[in-house]
Amino acid sequence: DSGVTQTPKHLITATGQRVTLRCSPRSGDLSVYWYQQSLDQGLQFLIQYYNGEERAKGNILERFSAQQFPDLHSELNLSSLELGDSALYFCASSVSGGGATDTQYFGPGTRLTVL
Amino acid sequence: AQSVTQPDIHITVSEGASLELRCNYSYGATPYLFWYVQSPGQGLQLLLKYFSGDTLVQGIKGFEAEFKRSQSSFNLRKPSVHWSDAAEYFCAVGLYNNAGNMLTFGGGTRLMVKP
């Protein structure tokens, strides 16, 4: 158990809908990261938040957004869902916002199925 | 941009046999390298990491990896595989800068263990 929690574990929804994925980082970690794992794209970095502010951005679609709250938990919002958004979404956390020794620890993931 | 290649999509070994999973990276600076393991239905667990120093790195569960700069490789090894090692293994390179962190993952190698 990494100490990173994600809810829900599974989510099934329809095209065009909007969903919210939630992540709680390990105690003491200030950074939260979101990754998407799909069959065709593999594991891809989406976005990083550090202490409430966006820190780094990867291949995140405009239909997707994230935020980190004062208690450091994070939410990933996915809107206007398409079939291709079906994937496993991982959250990770780390102690700081960067640096060589800042290791990311991953949660169990949320499996999103868009029908 | 950095990239990671895991040439072997599937590998099957007999229980008790030795294992080597290959990883090649492309990165302009000194790489920060990681191996993660994903068991079925589970999240990503960190096996080991290389930041600097000794090029032979020991990890959990009896795994080790060797960083070879001249070959741009970071291969994962285990002297004797157990049935519980069956999983998918991901090599990753970390990009750390003042803007934040991100991990770039290889496509993964699925390990099957024969009894």
| Residue B44 DSSP code | E
The tens digit of pLDDT for each residue in A17-62 reads 999 999 999 999 999 999 999 988 899 999 999 999 999 899 899 9
Percent of chain A with pLDDT over 70: 97
> Which tokens hold the place of B77?
């090894």
Asked if the Cβ–Cβ distance from B97 to A99 is below 8 Å, we say: no
Determine the residue type at A18: R
Closest partner residue to B101 (CB to CB) among A56, A107, A108 is: A56
CB pairs under 8 A between A and B: 68
| pLDDT of res. A1 | 81
The tens digit of pLDDT for each residue in B72-107 reads 999 999 999 999 999 999 999 987 766 677 899 999
CB A85 within 8 A of CB A60: no
Q: What phi and psi values does residue B67 have, to the nearest 5 degrees?
A: -90, 125
| pLDDT of res. A34 | 97
The tens digit of pLDDT for each residue in B13-49 reads 999 999 999 999 988 777 889 999 999 878 899 999 9
Determine the residue type at B77: R
Preceding amide of A8 cis, omega within 30: yes
| pLDDT of res. B99 | 64
**Rounded CA gap, B69 and B75, in Å?**
12
Chain B residue with Cα closest to A97? B100
